[in-house]
Amino acid sequence: MPVLPIDAGRYGSIEIRQIFQENNRLNYQLLFEASVAEAQSIIKMIPENAAAEIIKTAKSGRITLKRVSELEAVSDHDTAAVVEALSEKCSPKAKPWIHYGLTSNDVIDTTTSMQIRDALNIIEPKILKLALVLVNYSIKYRTMPAVGRTHGQHASIIAFGLKFAVWALELVTHIERIEEGKKRFLLCKTLGVVGTGSLMGEGALEVQKIVAKNLNLYPIAAATQVIARERFAEVQYLMALIGCTLDKMATEVRNLMRTEIGEVAEPFRKGQMGSSAVPIKRNPIKSERVSSLSRIVVSLVNVSLENIPLWHERDLSNSANERFTIPVSAILLDEMLNSMMIVMEGLKIDRGRVTSNLNLTSGQIHSEFILDKLVRKGVSRIEAYRDIQRVAFSALESGEHLHDAIKNDQKFAELTSAELKFIFEPSNHLGASNQIIANVAKKVRMVKERYLKRKV
């Protein structure tokens, strides 16, 4: 019976969960052993016929997880059990050359890199797809004035589409971070017990170079028995950073979906129930799920950081927790992306509520532009600020529209009716929003093109 929700299939796509399943992990390990044997035969380090047999056996499907588990129960060593299971299927001539010159963490660390590689191949296209959805919203709503809020309070006017542009920009920046980081954390190591390549001698680096190329990884320049844990901490942090961006988006959706605001709403399918007790509820459950899972992904960063200072050339204090950190983070990040995609593709935007919220404070949101007009006329900024504040606070208490309060106050007599009309028209105050959104759209398209070229 499954213990964790991930095991039960509740979170993450089938594709990403499969990457971290034990039987597939075994396949990655066997592929690594085959790749090392092939590289060693290429430079004449081991006999070609032995390498051919090792490669064929490792890829035959005859090495089972069941048998590996049986051997591990005796040896209490997971990697040794894999090597022993492989050896059982090879001839006496090939057996001496299995796992030649390697140590356990050559297998473990390179396997982890292979898993990260394949997980990112699932995650990156989803990030890009979400960014493209957001760009479309940003363009669609680039001329719609909306309330810009700071400290939870109405501050000034924004283009509603700018919200989506900001999110899209961060998502494609994450893709750039991933691509730039691959050379640092998608690593191959074949340098043996303490990182010297002792048994392979001068051919050690050449073997590593060949294996790395064959596995679409990067050879580590220097290591102890293990790849330095700064490398895996970086990818752990990167997944948390992406998760935080998704949480930021989810939090805004949750806030804008409040009954009192009501500017957006998550999609609500037929038959869905928002509450077991209250029939009218439509809760932002997918956005809340994103926020909830983000907390787990973020919490695992600290575990990865604490794995960095190992004893001497290595110890096992990182080993057990690494069976959780990267797999859990990758699977949960995949789930967060899936959930946010559903939210954004089906997002309901209520134009009427956006406009009514803009007018909620009876013109108070235009104070920035009154101040600017007065300053341009030569009035001291602090003097103008105090006068606007005085009139605005009084109007708020009395319920008077700020336009009328300003018009009827002698301190603002020099503002003409035409100027006041311009000031109190929201669409006049979107600033450079249209160009900003256009620039972001261009950036997203460029990142998409670069990404697609890399995949060809």
| Catalytic annotation, residues | 151, 275
153 DSSP β-pair partners: 150
The count of other CB atoms within 10 Å of the CB of residue 114 is 23
Identify the sign of the CA torsion 365, 368, 373, 378.
positive
Unique residue bearing structure tokens 């030649």 = 100
Q: Where does 70-209 show beta strands of DSSP type E?
A: 145-150, 153-159, 187-188
C-alpha pair distances (Å), 245 with each of 55, 280, 333, 407: 43, 30, 11, 44
CA 456, CA 446: separation in Å to the nearest integer?
16
Provide CB contacts within 8 A for 136, sequence distance 6+. Answer: none
**Cβ neighbours for 384, distance < 8 A, ≥ 6 positions apart:** 370, 371, 374, 375
Q: Is 428 exposed, middle or buried, given 0-12, 13-18 or 19+ CB atoms closer than 10 A?
A: middle
Q: Say whether 367 sits in a helix, a strand or coil.
A: helix
Name the burial class of residue 416, with classes exposed (0-12), middle (13-18) and buried (19+) by CB atoms within 10 angstroms of its CB: exposed
| Distances, alpha carbon 407 to alpha carbons 17, 233, 379, 420, in Å | 64, 60, 17, 8
Region class of 99: left (phi > 0), else alpha (psi between -120 and 50), else beta: left
